[in-house]
Homo-oligomer: A and B are copies of this chain.
Amino acid sequence: METSSIRKKRDPRWTRFEEFLRSRGLRHSASRGLVVEIFFSNEGSISAEELWLAVKNQVPGIAVSTVYRTLRLLVDSGLARTCEGQGTVHYEPRSKASRDRIICMDCGKVMDLDLPEADLLQERIAMRLGYTVEQRELFMYGRCPACLRRRALAMKNAGRY
């Protein structure tokens, strides 16, 4: 599998995956490399079977089990996460940073946040429960100032309905 060693080398995730393998005494292999590479090249979420098809498309003869096994490694190494897919499990790249955001339910605006206070909270909870926590998502759904103003105005003007 020499096809794109350059791209591999440039992607920090690849390095991280290699480190993960080494740290567990696991080995490199052409099929494994292909699966990982195609998974990385995919932006959104993907099911095991979709990934398998994409892989077979490049190198026929690779077994589904290999895809599943590699996917497990990706999850274990923290480079992938599972997420909802209709009916079947989907996998998506896990970004390093934690994600905090506030979403306006009226206009749909999404604002990315960085909340050190949430880090503290997270630590406290983890401690209390005996967990270790590596990542978090804090999504808040509500209304943005602009939409709140608009609503307030609409209230006055249209007295009732």
A interface vs B, CB < 8 Å?
24-25, 72, 75-76, 78, 81-84, 102, 104-106, 111, 113, 115, 117-118, 121-122, 124-126, 129-145, 148, 158-159, 161
Bound Cα distance A142, B82 (Å)? 13
User: Which residues from chain B contact A129 at a C-beta distance below 8 Å?
Assistant: 102, 111, 145
Q: Would you call B137 and A25 a contact (CB within 8 A)? A: no
State A144–B81 Cα separation when bound (angstroms): 16
* Chain A contact surface mostly: mixed
Question: What residues on B are CB-neighbors of A136 within 8 Å?
Answer: 138-141
A-B contact pairs, 17 of them (CB 8 A): A72-B161, A76-B105, A83-B84, A102-B126, A102-B129, A102-B131, A105-B134, A117-B125, A118-B121, A131-B143, A131-B144, A133-B141, A134-B141, A134-B142, A135-B142, A136-B138, A138-B139
